[in-house]
Amino acid sequence: MSNTLYLEWALTTITELVLLVYLLRRKLFRSHPVFFAYILGDILRSVLMAGIYSLSGMKSFRVWLIYWLSQIVMVTARFAAVVEVARRVLSPFSGIWALGRRVLLLAAGAVLVYSALLSKDYWYSLPLNVERGAGLAVAAVIVTLLLFARYYGLPMDHLERSLCIGFCLYSSFSVINDSLIEKWVNSYFELWNFLGVLTFLASLLIWTGAARAYSETAPARVPVVVPKELYGKFSSELNIRLRLLNEHLNQLLHSGGQH
């Protein structure tokens, strides 16, 4: 590994430690336990990999296997952290959460199937394909979540928004990176490593900024809940009114005059 890569790696671990301190000081490990575990897990993984690389080098099959197994564990943890964010944003609104989780699941499933269909079936490509598919699914879930929250005008605090941005950018760039390494596996390896760590570092900086700015005194959301029947009545009436307006527009479109 080049010195730049070592430096980048060290910088990432230091940033992770800073983020961890903020998560502890702001007591965010209570509200975001999965995210906390994800960051902690990544630090431990870095230590483990550094130890293995110094003992066995980077070329053996065993090291390759350990690297990819730990990577798959981290990708799963990332997915779980995203689910945690989605639950925090949507679950105060039980109706939206019930619909939202189905939509998010569908988005993730569709992307995973898409990735599986497009991936190469060589055994040595499997970890890369899993990582890429999961990365794409994470990004798709986040984008769907943000669009959902935007459509319903749901409040989203700075921390959740930053977590979403960080995870989505990191996952999307990982997908691009993984796709490029598949093509130029040897000549691209150093750059692939560098870019992978760089995008993670950028995400870490976004999260650290948000954790630092987090205020525990923010008021808790107390959502108002109405009976399901009342929603049903309002919903159907609103839809009739919206349909009427649509028909209005259609009539304007189709029955105007010639100039």
Stretch 40-59 residues interacting with other proteins (CB under 8 A): none
Pair of tokens at residue 149: 């929250």
Name the residue nearer to other proteins (CB basis): 64 or 152: 152
Task: State the minimum distance, in angstroms, from the CB of residue 22 to other proteins.
Answer: 22
Task: State the minimum distance, in angstroms, from the CB of residue 121 to other proteins.
Answer: 12
Burial of 221 (0-12, 13-18, 19+ CB in 10 A): exposed
258 binds other proteins (CB under 8 A): yes
Instruction: By CB under 8 A, name the one of 40, 43, 161, 196 that touches other proteins.
Output: 161
Name the residue nearer to other proteins (CB basis): 33 or 95: 95
Distance of CA 190 to the CA centre of its chain: 25
Amino acid at 211: A
CA 2/CA 25 separation, integer angstroms? 35
Contact characters 191-230, other proteins, x per CB under 8 A? -------------------------------xxxxxxx-x
Binding-residue total with other proteins (CB under 8 A)? 77
Tally the C-alpha atoms within 13 A of residue 79's C-alpha that lie toward its C-beta: 21
Q: What's the CA dihedral at 62, 68, 73, 76 to 10 degrees?
A: -160
Instruction: By CB under 8 A, name the one of 118, 185, 213, 218 that touches other proteins.
Output: 118
